[in-house]
């Protein structure tokens, strides 16, 4: 399959590291003009340089902004008035005992993991529907379906994100715009390395720690290893492309078989 995004502008939130950086790099390699987003100009500049190392002719827009606030989205809109592909990747997670999560933390998780996506969809979807083409892709998690005991607030916020995607897909029905979510399984990022070491012996080398984490805390994974960010990015690139024109309102899994279900 030839994925060609030439002439399309994509915004990937939280794209200075991890899954977001992999998605931005993959979309740039497919020919898209990609807006790299993070909270600080410095982190965005570093990410842009990293992308250009992998994709020499990458067409990038540096778009630093805190998209968890209305003011940040307004600043982003001034730099990027319209997009064809919106990837809501920004998210936070941390292992916390369920009974220790206070109201402020619950609100913070919903502000970052849910409302930032809602705000950006509300900002950019009207332009997509007016032009008759667009892609909205929300990066969810296996934790949306299999709520982890150690991250109830995170899992619940990602469940809400699945509902957001389905609801806005109905809003965009018949317009040529698709809205989907990606259920990403346990993925190897710097943040996840820190998370793994919250749950297993910190003295273990990384490969041993990863295997121990999967054995003890994610034993239902059929892959038996953490997913690499590029593997998530490949599915996102497909959903962002014209090839996925008949896929909308879906929660598409790239979870290594973690969710024990025949249906997505």
Active site residues: 154
Structure tokens at 112: 């970052």
Element (H, E) at 251: strand 251-254
In 8-165, at which residue ranges do the beta strands (DSSP E only) sit? 9-12, 33-36, 59-62, 85-88, 134-141
Residues 238, 89, 200, 205: is their CA dihedral positive or negative? Answer: positive
Backbone angles phi, psi at 263, to 5 degrees: -80, 155
Query: What is the Cα–Cα distance from 166 to 169, expressed in whole angstroms?
Result: 5
Rounded CA gap, 157 and 143, in Å? 9
Q: In whole angstroms, how far apart are CA 173 and each of 66, 176, 245? A: 30, 8, 12
Using N-to-C axis directions, what is the helix angle for 190-199 and 206-217, rounded to 10°? Answer: 70
From the centroid of its chain, how far is CA 34?
Answer: 15
Distances (CA, A) of 224 to 113, 142, 200, 220, 257: 27, 15, 16, 8, 9
Q: Which of 247, 92, 94, 244 is nearest to 165 (CA)?
A: 247
């Amino acid at each position: 399959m030839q994925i060609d995004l030439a002439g399309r502008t994509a915004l990937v939130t939280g794209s200075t590291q991890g899954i977001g950086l992999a998605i931005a790099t993959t979309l740039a390699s497919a020919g898209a003009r990609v807006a790299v987003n993070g909270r600080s100009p410095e982190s965005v500049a570093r990410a842009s340089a990293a992308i250009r190392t992998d994709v020499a002719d990458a067409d990038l827009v540096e778009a630093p902004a805190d998209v968890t606030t209305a003011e940040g989205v307004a600043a982003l809109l001034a730099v990027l008035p319209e997009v064809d592909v919106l990837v809501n990747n920004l998210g936070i997670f941390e292992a916390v005992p369920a009974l220790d999560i206070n109201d402020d933390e619950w609100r913070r998780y919903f502000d970052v993991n849910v409302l930032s996506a809602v705000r950006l969809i509300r900002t950019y979807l009207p332009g997509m529907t007016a032009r008759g083409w667009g892609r909205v892709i929300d990066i969810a998690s296996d934790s949306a379906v299999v709520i982890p005991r150690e991250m109830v607030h995170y899992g619940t916020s990602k469940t809400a994100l699945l509902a957001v995607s389905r609801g806005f897909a109905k809003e965009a029905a018949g317009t040529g715009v698709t809205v989907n979510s990606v259920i990403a399984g346990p993925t190897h990022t710097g943040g996840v390395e820190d998370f793994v070491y919250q749950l297993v012996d910190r003295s273990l080398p990384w490969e041993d720690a990863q295997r121990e984490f999967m054995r003890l805390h994610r034993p239902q994974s059929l892959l038996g290893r953490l997913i690499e960010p590029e593997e998530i990015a490949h599915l996102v690139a497909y959903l962002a492309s014209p090839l996925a024109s008949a896929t909308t309102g879906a929660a598409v899994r790239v979870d290594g078989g973690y969710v024990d279900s025949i249906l997505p």
